[in-house]
Amino acid sequence: MEGIEHTRVEVNGINMHVAVKGQGPVVLFLHGFPELWYSWRHQILALSHKGYRCVAPDLRGFGDTDAPASVDSYNCVHVVSDLVALIQSLQVEKVFLVAHDWGAIIGWYLCLFRPELVKAYVCLSVPFFRRNPTVPTEEGKVEAEMAPLGAEYVIKNMLTNRRIGPPIFPKGEYGTAFNPDMTEDLPSWLTQQDLAYFVSKFEKTGFTGGLNYYRNFNKNWELTAPWSGAKIKVPVKFIAGELDSVYTSLGMKDYIESGGFKEDVPGLEEVIIQPGVAHFNNQETPHDITNHIYNFITKF
């Protein structure tokens, strides 16, 4: 895509695929599930033309980055260690951080563990989680339910979902999964070429790497005990769609609106709720998200 350079960087004992474009201050993009660096294609092109060096890795277990076999390899310490090593390889002291979905969760961990590496954080969809235990997903079960449907069905089903409510994996047969209203036609913001790129990568890797992030909720809870009650003081801008399945469940909307979010994240400067927009807002409203990112990071 228009001059994007693809490299492999050795980080924390694995080889990480990284898409890079532009020169200037570094903007580090972190994707979610079931996504890849490609989820940031619009922002990479736009912000690189505005004088930024855009860096978007495939996180461990995704795309062309190595996928360690053990579930424990996907806990927050390992994934944040990947990012620390990546930042060091860029030979910069700090980065602007932009992240979505599981990338957003990892972004919060990076801000918690190594705040000195982050100039400012634009967080999409998933606010900071107070430290609570969560029952993990049963290993292997979800993959077995997804397999008969194929990667294209699963990815299309998830990316086009506009149902509000808990973003949880269905129990029993995968069936219509998150999105029983899925149609044959793709939304205007997702082309067949876009879908084909995601599918081509997940057909090779499967979904296990991405699902292993969910399987580490309890482990992450154990590992973050020393940071219990810690505050996020990095400057933050938070953006979510009003139809986002995270924003509309798990008490998140009340947590954000009641002031709990600001209490836990004193660095929170802006909250943007996009009318009529669902979970994958970086792809659904690319120009809006790009403008929000640019307007925030130019302040620093």
Out of 17, 78, 279, 292, the active site residue is 279
Out of 42, 194, 197, 214, the active site residue is 214
Place of tokens 């919060």: 108
**In this structure, which long-range contacts are made by residues 189-197, counting pairs with CB atoms below 8 Å and at least 24 apart in sequence?**
189/283, 189/284, 189/285, 189/286, 190/159, 190/160, 190/283, 194/38, 194/41, 194/283, 195/152, 195/155, 195/156, 195/159, 197/36, 197/38
Out of 101, 109, 255, 264, the active site residue is 101
What is the per-residue pLDDT for 141?
Answer: 73
| Amino acid sitting at position 285 | T
What is the per-residue pLDDT for 178?
Answer: 63
Residue 264 annotated as catalytic: no
Predicted confidence (pLDDT) per residue in 60-95, tens digit? 999 999 999 999 999 999 999 999 999 999 999 999
Domain count, the chain: 1
The pTM of the full predicted model, rounded to 2 decimals, is 0.95
Predicted confidence (pLDDT) per residue in 119-142, tens digit? 999 999 999 987 765 555 566 777
Q: What is the domain extent for residue 31?
A: 5-298
Residue 101 annotated as catalytic: yes
Of 44-48, 145-149, 224-228, minimum mean pLDDT range: 145-149
What is the per-residue pLDDT for 138?
Answer: 63
Predicted confidence (pLDDT) per residue in 155-212, tens digit? 998 999 888 877 555 554 444 456 777 888 999 999 999 999 999 999 999 999 999 9
Are residues 165 and 171 in contact, defined by beta-carbon separation less than 8 angstroms? no
The Cβ of residue 178 has, within 10 Å, a number of other Cβ atoms equal to: 23
Going by C-alpha positions, the residue among 142, 141, 135 that lies closest to residue 217 is: 135
More confident residue, 114 or 184: 114
Residues near 99 by Cβ (< 8 Å), separated by ≥ 6? Answer: 29, 30, 31, 32, 106, 107, 121, 122, 123, 124
CATH number at residue 90: 3.40.50.1820
Question: What percent of the chain shows pLDDT beyond 90?
Answer: 79
